[in-house]
Structure 1
Amino acid sequence: MTEVHRPPLTAGEREQLTGWLDLQRSFVRMKCQGLTEEDAHRKVLPSSPLMSIASLVAHLRWNEWSWFQLNLMGVPDTGQSPWTEGGHPDAEMFVDDIPLAQLLDEYDAECERSNETIAPLDLDVVEQGQYAAKGEAASLRYILCHMIEETARHVGHMDIIRELVDGKTGYTKLSEA
């Protein structure tokens, strides 16, 4: 049984933001528990032909990298991302040949790297990447709020897909910290 904790009700701003993001991140792995490879890669939404649970895990992994490494820290993309000049805008979702366990491990590792990256930073620090040069840099506070929304939205998609794939819904266990 997976146990998930919300951040303390009276925690400070940073602990609330990182706590809620970590909570949503934990739901990603929870939604994948017990899936077969076939079900993890099954596409059940005709209007979204790339969307499977596996492709959403990959999408979330690359969103972590994009927001915290590429945008916030200004780390250049030296070809490690799935995106290429003139390539498909959703290239990160082409993962039919990648095992779910590998995708989850890569996601977990990227989330850990994100947490390590932001740990010493003030919430008012702004992006150093491509948007900074355009005068549209977001603060770390904004990025954390966005990543909570992004992750929660896709966990909701995973919940729907999981129900369509095998009928499983909800959380295994949700407890207060």
Structure 2
Amino acid sequence: MLTIIWAGGQPGKISELRRMTQAEWGLLRNDLPTNVKTYIDCDEDTILISHPDFSEKELLDISNFDGLKFSDGLVPVITKDENGLFLMQAFSNLESLELSQKESMGIYFSRSRNQLWRKGDTSGHIQKLKRILSPKDGSFVVYEVEQEGAACHEGYYSCFFREQDRSGTKNLVPEIPFLGK
């Protein structure tokens, strides 16, 4: 499954988040306006579609997690820095959300390791959590963080360091610095 994020720019405002299969994305991709920018994350399982005309989804600060829509115990989390730059997309369970809130740190649930994942535990590249937001429908969560070092395990400040053109070619985004692992 892919996570598709629609946004009004990079940095930008979130318009929508949807989960879909690779086949569904292949069909949708053909119908996108030619002037959108498409960024691919490091693991190639999240796609950020950027266009300034996308409307902004209203996000609210949340202090409890009762209204969130968990699927198999998880909710998608989009992480942005304080300037609005999209850094990464991951998942959280209730425990990681509560710990993030309590410790003011970016804490997630690693699906591949089937355990909690504190961003920066091994790399030292931590996320100081400033705000937790969600749309009214509770379909996803946004962590607004102060990023220290690279958000991406490949050493880039953001996981969205490649732009994919219409032909499928992926090019580095020069505005996203490589900071080292």
Whether TM exceeds 0.5 here: the answer is: no
TM-score (norm 2): 0.25
TM-score (norm 1): 0.26
Q: From the two aligned structures, give the one with the greater strand fraction.
A: 2
The structure having more radius of gyration, on CA atoms, is: 1
For CA contacts below 8 A with separation 6 or more, give which structure has more relative contact order. Answer: 1
